[in-house]
Amino acid sequence: MADQPFLPYGRQSVDADDIEAVLQVLRGDWLTTGPAVDAFESGLSSFTHARHARVVNSGTAALHAAYAAAGLGKGHTIVTSPLTFVATAHCALWMGADVRFADVDPTTGLIGADSAAALVDSSTRLIVPIDYAGHPCDYTALRALAEKTGTTLVADAAHSLGATYEGDPVGTLAHLTATSFHPVKPITSAEGGAVLTDDPELDRRIAQFRNHGMERDPGRLRDQDAGAWAYEVQALGLNYRMPDVLCALGLSQLGKLESFIARRQELAARYARDLEDVGGIDLPPTAANTTPGWHIYVIRVQDAGRRRALFDRLRADGLGVQVHYDPVHLHPFYADRGHRAGECPNAEDFSSRAISIPLYPALADGDVDRVVATIRAAAADLL
Ligand SMILES: Cc1ncc(COP(=O)(O)O)c(C=O)c1O
């Protein structure tokens, strides 16, 4: 196997069109905020049907901006799941709020409305579901919960751009949707992210937050007699601007999102067929009312005690398997804040058995054959 290429769990698909789109911007007048920002935002808005899209320079910045727009602050809490990248929780702490971790469904890894509801009280401002692995959560139940409790629903859709729930696209399912364009994500801009919303006031706050709280619209300035140069700083904010160069890449990629997802779905279907009878592992389920984006393909080892051996063997055999994720609440920083094992038993169990196997649009059919054969052989030896 030594001469075979390493197959990562995920990777970008960047082609000559994408490179040309970036070069065109580099040859032009704008490197940072310019026409490619507007073009990418319009493209995201038409693709997702969200009325507003604002790009920022990472998925983390998108979450931070969404939390700020929703008014999260000191004394507040958010309810989210621990089966996520740490940014979902960290951004709440940066806003001075605290995080409560709700447990997930044992087979999908998705937050349940009931487990979230149990943690909501008068301090709760946001409920933040994670569309883990590209599978949209149960937004009907989550929207009902948000409405009942007067909370804002912020979807962490870093994994799920391009997926749908009951026929509606990700981007329209929550009050605010944050997504990421990191290279392993559904589309990439190297680094980048976006916040999608139908609410013009939330959108305006995001536009300010990503640019130091600056307002340039003459109609919105407090000083209506201001000169043509004027801007006012009307809020706290940061430099979370996404450069034109990267927006050009993002926009070019957006044109391929449907075909990327179609390929991911084909690959997931192959795994579902070819790994179904492998003893000792469980495959990911798909809810009937969603079209998942299959950002990652996570198998679960039935005996958690054998996960490490299988993982090490697959790595040794050239598969760039990964674990998504060690639960956020068990990382030392969160443990030091009082979080403990046992807080979210399903998420902890899910995590202890999870292995993400290679899945990305450029994975060839022959590569899939190799992944399947490698997992079959390893499972036969070890499980
Ligand atoms: C679920 C989730 N949320 C947030 C993020 C943060 O996105 P970024 O890496 O673009 O800052 C990621 C990316 O890894 C993620 O997977």
Q: What would the DSSP string read from start to end of 314-361?
A: HHHTTEE-B-S---GGGSHHHHTTT--TTSSHHHHHHHHHEEEE---T
Ligand 1 pocket, 60 CB below 6 A?
yes
Q: Are 177 and 55 contacting, i.e. CB atoms less than 8 angstroms apart?
A: no
Ligand 1 pocket, 295 CB below 6 A?
no
Q: Are 237 and 209 contacting, i.e. CB atoms less than 8 angstroms apart?
A: yes
What is d(CA 70, CA 154) in angstroms, rounded to the nearest whole number?
Answer: 9
Output the CA–CA distances (angstroms, integers) from residue 15 to 19, 193, 256, 272, 339, in the order listed.
6, 20, 10, 29, 44
Give the CATH number of domain 16-254. 3.40.640.10
Ligand 1 pocket, 88 CB below 6 A?
yes
Residue for token pair 């044109």: 255
Atom from ligand 1 closest to the CA of residue 130: 1
Output the CA–CA distances (angstroms, integers) from residue 7 to 253, 266, 267, 373, 382, in the order listed.
22, 18, 14, 13, 21
Ligand 1 centroid–CA 60 distance in Å is: 6
Domain ranges for the chain, please list them. Answer: 16-254, 257-382
- Taking Cα atoms as reference points, which of 146, 85, 81 lies closest to residue 109? 81
Ligand 1 pocket, 193 CB below 6 A?
yes
In order along its 383 residues, the chain shows pLDDT tens digits of 457 899 999 999 999 999 999 999 999 999 999 999 999 999 999 999 999 999 999 999 999 999 999 999 999 999 999 999 999 999 999 999 999 999 999 999 999 999 999 999 999 999 999 999 999 999 999 999 999 999 999 999 999 999 999 999 999 999 999 999 999 999 999 999 999 999 999 999 999 999 999 999 999 999 999 999 999 999 999 999 999 999 999 999 999 999 999 999 999 999 999 999 999 999 999 999 999 999 999 999 999 999 999 999 999 999 999 999 999 999 999 999 999 999 999 999 999 999 999 999 999 999 999 999 999 999 999 99
Ligand 1 pocket, 85 CB below 6 A?
yes
Q: What is the pTM of this model?
A: 0.98
Ligand 1 pocket, 173 CB below 6 A?
no
Atom from ligand 1 closest to the CA of residue 181: 10
Show the tokens assigned to 300.
């679960």
Ligand 1 pocket, 158 CB below 6 A?
yes
Ligand 1 pocket, 58 CB below 6 A?
yes
Show the tokens assigned to 301.
């080892």
Q: Which amino acid, 218?
A: P
Ligand 1 pocket, 59 CB below 6 A?
yes
Atom from ligand 1 closest to the CA of residue 84: 1
What is d(CA 163, CA 254) in angstroms, rounded to the nearest whole number?
Answer: 13
Choice from 12, 60, 101, 328 to test ligand 1 binding pocket (greatest atom count within 8 A of CB): 60
Ligand 1 centroid–CA 111 distance in Å is: 17
Ligand 1 pocket, 156 CB below 6 A?
yes
N-term to C-term CA, the chain: 21
Length of the chain: 383
Ligand 1 centroid–CA 185 distance in Å is: 9
Output the CA–CA distances (angstroms, integers) from residue 70 to 199, 209, 301, 361, in the order listed.
11, 11, 39, 35
Atom from ligand 1 closest to the CA of residue 324: 16
Burial of 234: CB neighbours in 10 Å, binned 0-12, 13-18, 19+: middle
Ligand 1 pocket, 84 CB below 6 A?
yes
Ligand 1 pocket, 182 CB below 6 A?
yes
**Phi-psi label, residue 314: left if phi above 0, alpha if psi -120 to 50, beta otherwise:** alpha
Show the tokens assigned to 376.
């079959």
Ligand 1 centroid–CA 159 distance in Å is: 8
Output the CA–CA distances (angstroms, integers) from residue 279 to 121, 312, 322, in the order listed.
43, 18, 20
Given this model, what pLDDT does residue 163 score?
Answer: 98
Ligand 1 centroid–CA 63 distance in Å is: 9
Burial of 152: CB neighbours in 10 Å, binned 0-12, 13-18, 19+: buried
- The answer to whether the Cα torsion of 357, 359, 365, 366 is positive or negative is negative
Q: Where are the alpha helices (DSSP H) in the chain?
A: 16-27, 35-48, 59-69, 87-94, 113-117, 139-149, 200-209, 244-254, 257-274, 307-316, 332-335, 345-353, 365-382
Ligand 1 pocket, 363 CB below 6 A?
no
Ligand 1 pocket, 132 CB below 6 A?
no
Ligand 1 centroid–CA 382 distance in Å is: 33
Please tell me the CATH superfamily of domain 257-382, with its number.
Aspartate Aminotransferase, domain 1 (3.90.1150.10)
Ligand 1 centroid–CA 87 distance in Å is: 6
Ligand 1 pocket, 177 CB below 6 A?
no
Given this model, what pLDDT does residue 3 score?
Answer: 72
Q: Which residues contact 89 (CB under 8 A, 6 or more apart)?
A: 80, 82, 99, 101, 328, 334
Choice from 11, 78, 84, 180 to test ligand 1 binding pocket (greatest atom count within 8 A of CB): 180
